[in-house]
Amino acid sequence: MKALIASTLGAWQGEKTREISQPPLGEQTAAGLFVVNQPQLTQSYIHIGHIGEELRSPYHAPMAVLNEVLNGFGGRLFNQIRSRQGLAYSVYAYWSPRYDHNGLFIGGGQTRSEATVPFIESMYKELEKVRSEPITETELAFAKDSVLNSFVFNFQTPNQTLSRLIRYEYYGYPSDFVFKFRDQVEAATTQQVLAAAQATLTPDKLITVVVGNVAEMKPGLETLGVEVTPLDVSIPQPT
């Protein structure tokens, strides 16, 4: 294949390479509570989050463990907000880093209109809880097993392995990045997960966006104690 490429394209002269500006750092400049009023809806759709970090972050592995603590049928959010409090049809939160730019931490779910404020308050409480006290050893073991058991899906096909290695080289990651990640997950402790949550989850940077029927949100969003900013998503009529 290399010989064919060389014989076919070896003498090719392309255009002079143009300078490509670096992508923005993805730093966050605002926070707050925003609402899109949609009177026709019978439930609220809620997103809560802020800018995260890159995959090369030293907190990547412990945050992957925390993802498993928060999510799924055995996760804290499902158990507390859906099962015990009955506040959500769906609820989730995940850490989503990227190769060459800061990703997101984002959580949320769907709930009936009148449960909107209790749902948001419960989400805030659960996020603060993982920042203020360590997860349990049982949660740690379960979460680590969940991450490590999915590790095999990195090697399902030769094409998948090759694509991963090409991606690592393109973005300047070591070729054994995935194996280092596995080792870091295996070595993660409850204190490391706590330190990662404290370093990367920032309550005063949270952006909360609610889409729903404002008139049916009782209590209203203003009871959360922060300014509520309406968002207009209507499509203007063509001129």
What pLDDT, in 10s, does the model give residues 164-221? 999 999 999 999 999 999 999 999 999 999 999 999 999 999 999 999 999 999 999 9
3: in domain:
no
Q: For residue 138, is pLDDT > 90?
A: yes
At residue 48, the pLDDT reads 97
Q: What is the mean pLDDT of residues 97-123?
A: 95
Q: For residue 228, is pLDDT > 70?
A: yes
At residue 24, the pLDDT reads 65
- How much is the pTM? 0.85
145: in domain:
yes
At residue 167, the pLDDT reads 93
Structural domain range at position 89: 28-221
Which helix (H) or strand (E) segment is 8 a member of? Answer: helix 2-9
**23 band by pLDDT with thresholds 50, 70 and 90:** low
At residue 50, the pLDDT reads 95
Q: For residue 19, is pLDDT > 80?
A: no
At residue 15, the pLDDT reads 73
121: in domain:
yes
Q: Which residues contact residue 196 at a Cβ distance below 8 angstroms, ignoring those fewer than 6 apart?
A: 59, 62, 63, 66
55: in domain:
yes
At residue 26, the pLDDT reads 65
CA Rg value for the chain: 22
Indicate the number of domains in the chain: 1
Residue 217: which of 52, 99, 45 has the closest Cα?
Answer: 45
> Any idea what the CATH number is for the domain that residue 164 is in?
3.30.830.10
